[in-house]
Structure 1
Amino acid sequence: MGNMIEYVKMAIHNILANKGRSFLTMLGIIIGISSVIAIVSIGQGTTNQMNSEINDVGVGQIYINCSEDAQKAEEWITPDDLEDLKALDEVDGVSVASTLVGETTTGKGNFSLYLTGDTEDAKMVNNDSMKRGNYFTDADVAEARNVCVISDMDAKRLFGTDDVVGMDIDVTSYDITKTYRIVGVTEQKENGTFVSYTYEGMPSYITVPYTSLSDVMEGIEEFYSVTIIGNKSVDSKVVTEKALHVLERNHQSAGEDYYQVQSFQDVLKVMNQMMGMVTAFISFVAGISLLVGGIGVMNIMLVSVTERTREIGIRKSLGAKTSSIMMQFLAESAIITAIGGIIGIVLGIAAAFGICSIISQSMEMAISPGISPGTILIATAFACAVGVFFGIYPAKKAAKLSPIEALRRN
């Protein structure tokens, strides 16, 4: 232990004696460590923000579509299927979202319109919060009432105000005009970092009971797809299995693969994997500078061995062991990389916060860097390993010098 402390003291003395050269040697390590930490932290922060926003939109949702075989056999999802699915304890709601294109004329002018026929559970899929009035009810769907819900932003576009509960809106679709009574106004979500809810010039939306569209479009009660809102306390696989069992039982299609399932969590998992791969690739490229830095450490240590040949010869002639000489130079290379690693960690964290702050301000969003202690430890350990690895050759070269030959050199 005493010898090791002595080696460290000697290494620090030699580093301080050549400050400029030592700093340039550390530079590759500093750049590599700081780049890896900054990139991984920004990537993790971006992923966290994306997950947060997407989870707000569709956590717990499962999508079931009719396959080509089901369409050929005309085994569509029916209102009876919706009732049976909703009756499952693991299901909080179901949505069908059948959308028609239409138009309307108000005192503010002519507008294109998307008319979405859905169940009363559409508010759960869209994560809607009511600003005025109420969402249409199960009774409205059962009795095919001509009522609708509109967002506050669309209400202002169409009528100049969001105080529109009780007002009527005339909608023309497929040359049929229907009048809907507005019963509720939802609060338009703010556009997020990755999820945009609006764009300039987009049509307005109103949501109505799907049953109210039966005289506008034939087959409106035969659905291609259904969105299931699963209970968040239940595993999505359990919800999926029970939902498929209901559909296969109702349509006597067990083993036919009539219905295709896509879980929202599966989509999120794929997106996270893609983000992880991109971050890992960029980090790998940045990590190459660590190897370059390691080669720099080896070159400088070789120069140091050449410069201190007489010192090595004197030490060996006085009885210094080969292992002692080797440990002296290994300690010096390890300390150089360790100091470079510490500086790189500080700069990497600072860069991550700085870049995230610039992105947040320029794009009006909030991204916080995902600083991971694990990433810091791995990067630091790798840097130290690089220093030791590339220091082995110069250390061995110094340790194998013959005392007589070393003393001969000037």
Structure 2
Amino acid sequence: MGNMAEYVKMAFKNITANKGRSFLTMLGIIIGISSVIMVMSVGEGTANAMNSEVADLGTGQISVYCSDDAMTEEAWITSEDLTAIKEQLEGVDGVTPNDSSSGSTLTGKGEFVVQLNGGTEDMQKSMNYNMKRGSYFTSADTEEGNRVCVITDNDAKRLFGSDDVVGMDIEVTINEITGSYRIVGVTQQKENGGFVSYTYEGMPVTLDVPYTSFEHFGWESDSFYSATVFANDKASGEEVAKDIIHLLETRHRCAGEDYYQIQSFQDMVAELNTMLAIVTTFISCVAAISLIVGGIGVMNIMLVSVTERTREIGIRKSLGAKTSSILMQFLAEAAILTIVGGIIGILLGLLGAVGACGLMSASMGSTIHPGIKVSTILGATLFSCGIGVFFGIYPARKAAKLSPIEALRRN
């Protein structure tokens, strides 16, 4: 231990004797480590922010839809199927068909395109609505086909100049047939996040309505291309998805035909995270190339140091210094160069991650915090040490193998 302390002391003395050269030698390590730390921290922070926003949409949502073969064979999802899913399957909190139509409406504010989203009373679970005024339409409204609707506060202001519109009527024209919808509830409009946008310029006015109310416009809503099932927090989304497919295939007697497909929110989030992880890893690997360049710089400068200190090595060996002592001295010097460079790189990487996340938060309108992991910092530290030892071995061995006589003969 005493010898090692002496090696470290000598290494620091030699490094500080050539401060400028030592800093330039460490620069490649600093750039490499800081780049890797910053990219991985920003990537992790971005993934965390994205997952947080997506979770607001309801990660328990499971979308089931018909394949082309199912539609060809008219094996559509029916309202009876939806009732069976809700009543017979465990872990299901609600279910709604995905039905829609578009039309127009005319108010004192002008003419607007209207998008009618038809579903059951469970449709309110799809966006985690917060009711601002009134209430959502009920199961009785769905059963009776009442022409009632729920509107967002922003859309209410667009149509009437105020969101205090509960009890007012909206006349909607679809295929030249006009029907009046009574507003029973106003929802709180969510703010846009940096990754999930709920509005865009010029978008239609959106009304949530019972799907059965579409009968007024001349068509029966009894079969659907797709539906959304809401699994509760305790249920396994994968198990619920399997149960849905089994129930539909049993009811339609089409087992093994792949008539029905499943897409869950968990799958979508997993795919997004996988893509982001691949991109982050790729960029980190590119940034890590500078570590190799920095390692080569360490080896180069250590070879120069061996040449400059040949006479010193000769004197030490002639006085009885062991080959292992010379080897450890130069290895210690190379390791310290990379360790110090690694520490500086870690600090700069963390500062860069904080700055980058701050700029992204300001430009995207979403709060992003750097995902700093102890494992990332520890890995970067160990890697920088490994670089120093690996690229310092050759110069250290060259110094250790010098013949005392040959070394002393050199100027």
* Bucket of the pairwise TM-score, normalised by the shorter protein: over 0.9
Distance 1:110 1:101 in 2: 13
Q: What does residue 143 of structure 2 align with?
A: 142
Q: What does residue 218 of structure 1 align with?
A: 219
Distance 1:217-1:58 versus aligned 2 partners, 3 A rule: farther
Q: What does residue 315 of structure 2 align with?
A: 314
Matches within 5 A, 1:315-330: 315-330=316-331
Deviations 1:253-272 (A, max 9, x none): 22221101111111111110
How big is the shift at 1:395? 0.3
Q: Is the counterpart of residue 259 in structure 1 residue 260 in structure 2?
A: yes
Matches within 5 A, 1:44-55: 44-55=44-55
Q: Is the counterpart of residue 285 in structure 1 residue 295 in structure 2?
A: no
Q: What does residue 81 of structure 1 align with?
A: 81
Distance 2:68 2:203 in 1: 31
Contact 2:90 2:240 in 1 (8 A): no
Distance 1:219 1:145 in 2: 14
Distance 1:101 1:364 in 2: 31
Distance 1:19 1:188 in 2: 60
Distance 1:14 1:246 in 2: 76
Matches within 5 A, 1:97-246: 97-246=98-247
Contact 2:103 2:175 in 1 (8 A): yes
Q: What does residue 397 of structure 2 align with?
A: 396
How big is the shift at 1:101? 1.1
Contact 1:314 1:403 in 2 (8 A): yes
TM-score of the two chains, using structure 1 as the length reference: 0.99
How big is the shift at 1:250? 1.4
> In the alignment, residue 20 of structure 1 is paired with which amino acid?
G
Distance 1:302-1:74 versus aligned 2 partners, 3 A rule: same
Q: What does residue 10 of structure 2 align with?
A: 10
Distance 2:232 2:203 in 1: 33
> In the alignment, residue 383 of structure 2 is paired with which amino acid?
F
Distance 1:109 1:364 in 2: 31
Q: What does residue 335 of structure 2 align with?
A: 334
Q: Which moved more, 1:56-65 or 1:292-301?
A: 56-65
Distance 1:19-1:225 versus aligned 2 partners, 3 A rule: same
> In the alignment, residue 64 of structure 1 is paired with which amino acid?
V
Contact 1:95 1:125 in 2 (8 A): no
Q: Is the counterpart of residue 358 in structure 1 residue 352 in structure 2?
A: no
Tell me the secondary structure at the aligned position of residue 257 of structure 2. Answer: coil
Contact 1:333 1:391 in 2 (8 A): yes
Which consecutive unaligned segments of at least 5 residues does structure 1 have?
A: none
How big is the shift at 1:219? 4.3
> In the alignment, residue 36 of structure 2 is paired with which amino acid?
V
Tell me the secondary structure at the aligned position of residue 163 of structure 1. Answer: coil
Q: Which moved more, 1:284-293 or 1:83-92?
A: 83-92
Q: What RMSD, in angstroms, separates the aligned Cα atoms of the two structures?
A: 0.9
How big is the shift at 1:217? 4.7
How big is the shift at 1:365? 2.1
Contact 1:94 1:119 in 2 (8 A): yes
Distance 1:133 1:58 in 2: 23
The percentage of counterpart residues that share the same residue type is 64
> In the alignment, residue 187 of structure 2 is paired with which amino acid?
T
Tell me the secondary structure at the aligned position of residue 56 of structure 2. Answer: helix
Contact 1:104 1:112 in 2 (8 A): yes
Q: What does residue 72 of structure 1 align with?
A: 72
TM-score of the two chains, using structure 2 as the length reference: 0.98
Distance 1:142 1:204 in 2: 25
Contact 1:214 1:221 in 2 (8 A): no
Which consecutive unaligned segments of at least 5 residues does structure 2 have?
A: none
Distance 1:328 1:66 in 2: 71
